[in-house]
Structure 1
Amino acid sequence: MSLRLSTVILPYRRWSEGGAAAWTRAEELGFHTAYTYDHLSWRSFRDGPWFGAIPTLTAAASVTDRVRLGTLVTSPNFRHPVPLAKELISLDDISGGRVTLGIGAGGNGFDATALGQEPWTPRERADRFAEFVPLLDRLLTEDSVTYEGEFYSAHEARDIPGCVQRPRLPFAVAATGPRGLKLAARHGQAWVTTGDPKLYENGTPEQSVEALRGQIGKLGGACAAIGRDVAELDKVLLTGFTPDRGRPLESLDAFVDFAGRHQELGFTELVIHWPIPDSDFAADQKVFEQIAMEAPAQLG
Structure 2
Amino acid sequence: MQTRLVAAALLLAAGGAGAGWVLSAPDPLPGARFAGPAMTRTGPDGLPAAAPDFTPDPERGATLFAVAGCASCHIAPAGEAGGEGAGEGAEPDAPPRLAGGKRFETAFGTFVAPNISPHETDGIGAWSSRQFADAVLRGIGPEGAHLYPAFPYASYAKLTVGDALDMFAYLGTLPPVEGAAPGHELGFPFNIRRGLGLWKRLYLSGEWVVAAEDPQVTRGRFLVEGPGHCAECHTPRDPLGGLDRSRWLAGAPNPDGPGQVPDITPRGLSWSEADIAYYLESGFTPDYDSVGGSMVEVVENLAALPPEDRAAIAAYLKAVPTPAE
Normalization by structure 2: what TM-score? 0.22
| Alignment TM-score, normalising by the size of structure 1 | 0.23
Structure with the higher helix share, 1 or 2: 1
Q: From the two aligned structures, give the one with the greater strand fraction.
A: 1
